[in-house]
């Protein structure tokens, strides 16, 4: 039976992945800093996963989780899902927010990848799936820290993939567009986050889970954007960054309208 570690398991994408992996009879190590919330949800839904408290910023805590996972057998898959986002414009950002974004989103992924990959190299196989964001492909005004931290996740993942490939270890980076999770709900309260909602379709955790547990897990691609068309649009935007200035007013206008709609739906 395969062993999989999933971080960010208390909510959103991580929670959904744990539930579906359990159904596939996978030994799941579900990890999150909010152990209480994870435990309460797990009890209500009869989880069989092993629950671990994990602050992804702390290397020592990662070492403990890796030890727990290895007690069940070789680690087949690591899914780095845990993340953090707080909208804000550059001139209003606090030092604490700078640290929190990079400590959780970037350093958390790096700590997990380096420690789990060491175990995988030793056993000669494994697959690491790092969740970045569409913001890792094209920067999002109003989410400068989030965009930068996810750009770093993508760059690290692509480099790590080439380093680990000769050892039988695969690395995939997944870049979803906006997903209907607590992280998205939080953004309804911030005008700075309006561009997030300019997408024509807000993804569900089920849609993201289908891609991760389907194509990503089985084909082990280097990089996947969800939906695929957003990857094309993002790369074009990167080639012509000045074009964003022309399109940004339209994106903000559409985004604010949809942001209000989504907030109203959440209240009803």
Domain ranges of the chain: 3-267
Average pLDDT over residues 180-204: 94
User: How far apart, in whole angstroms, are the C-alpha atoms of residue 8 and residue 267?
Assistant: 25
Average per-residue pLDDT for the chain: 94
Average pLDDT over residues 223-243: 79
User: How far apart, in whole angstroms, are the C-alpha atoms of residue 105 and residue 109?
Assistant: 6
pLDDT of residue 15: 98
Q: What is the pTM of this model?
A: 0.94
19-23, 56-60, 197-201: range with lowest mean pLDDT: 197-201
User: How far apart, in whole angstroms, are the C-alpha atoms of residue 58 and residue 77?
Assistant: 20
pLDDT of residue 268: 65
pLDDT of residue 142: 95
User: How far apart, in whole angstroms, are the C-alpha atoms of residue 234 and residue 154?
Assistant: 14
List, by residue number, the catalytic residues.
Answer: 146
Q: Is the pLDDT of residue 74 over 70?
A: yes
11-25, 91-105, 165-179, 221-235: range with lowest mean pLDDT: 221-235
Q: Is the pLDDT of residue 144 over 90?
A: yes
- Point out which residues pair with 88 in neighbouring strands: 143
Sheet with strand 223-226: strands edge to edge: 50-53, 27-32, 3-7, 75-80, 126-131, 169-176, 223-226
pLDDT of residue 248: 81
Q: Is the pLDDT of residue 249 over 90?
A: no
* Residues written for the chain: 268
- Considering the segment(s) 3-267 as one domain, its CATH architecture is 3-Layer(aba) Sandwich (3.40)
pLDDT of residue 168: 98
Task: Quote the tokens at residue 158.
Answer: 């692509």
pLDDT of residue 253: 86
Average pLDDT over residues 117-128: 98
pLDDT tens for residues 85-99?
999 999 999 999 999
Give the residue among 55, 31, 9 at the shortest CA–CA distance from 209.
9
For 122, counting Cβ atoms within 10 Å of its Cβ (0-12 exposed, 13-18 middle, 19+ buried), the class is: exposed
pLDDT of residue 237: 73
Half-sphere exposure of 218 (CA within 13 A, CB side): 6
Average pLDDT over residues 210-217: 98
Q: Work out the percent of the chain whose per-residue pLDDT is above 90.
A: 84
């Amino acid at each position: 039976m395969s062993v999989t570690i999933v971080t960010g398991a208390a909510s959103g994408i991580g929670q959904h992945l744990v539930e579906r992996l359990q159904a596939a009879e996978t030994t799941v190590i579900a990890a999150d800093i909010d152990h209480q919330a994870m435990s309460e949800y797990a009890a209500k839904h009869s989880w069989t996963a092993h629950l671990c408290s994990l602050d992804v910023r702390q290397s020592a805590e990662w070492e403990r989780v890796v030890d727990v996972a290895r007690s069940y057998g070789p680690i087949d898959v690591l899914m780095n899902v845990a993340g953090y986002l707080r909208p804000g414009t550059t001139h209003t950002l606090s030092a604490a927010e700078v640290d929190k974004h990079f400590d959780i989103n970037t350093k958390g992924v790096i700590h997990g990848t380096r420690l789990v990959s060491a175990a995988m190299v030793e056993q000669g196989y494994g697959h690491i799936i790092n969740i970045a964001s569409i913001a890792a492909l094209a920067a999002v005004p109003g989410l400068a820290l989030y965009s930068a931290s996810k750009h770093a996740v993508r760059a690290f993942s692509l480099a790590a993939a080439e380093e680990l490939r000769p050892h039988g270890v695969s690395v995939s980076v997944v870049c979803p567009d906006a997903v209907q999770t607590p992280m998205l709900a939080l953004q309804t309260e911030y005008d700075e986050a309006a561009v997030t909602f300019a997408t024509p379709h807000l993804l569900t955790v089920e849609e993201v889970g289908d891609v991760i547990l389907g194509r990503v897990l089985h084909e082990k691609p280097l990089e996947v954007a969800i939906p695929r068309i957003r990857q094309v649009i993002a790369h074009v935007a990167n080639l012509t960054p000045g074009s964003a200035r022309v399109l940004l007013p339209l994106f903000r206008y559409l985004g604010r309208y949809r942001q209000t709609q989504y907030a109203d739906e959440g209240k009803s």
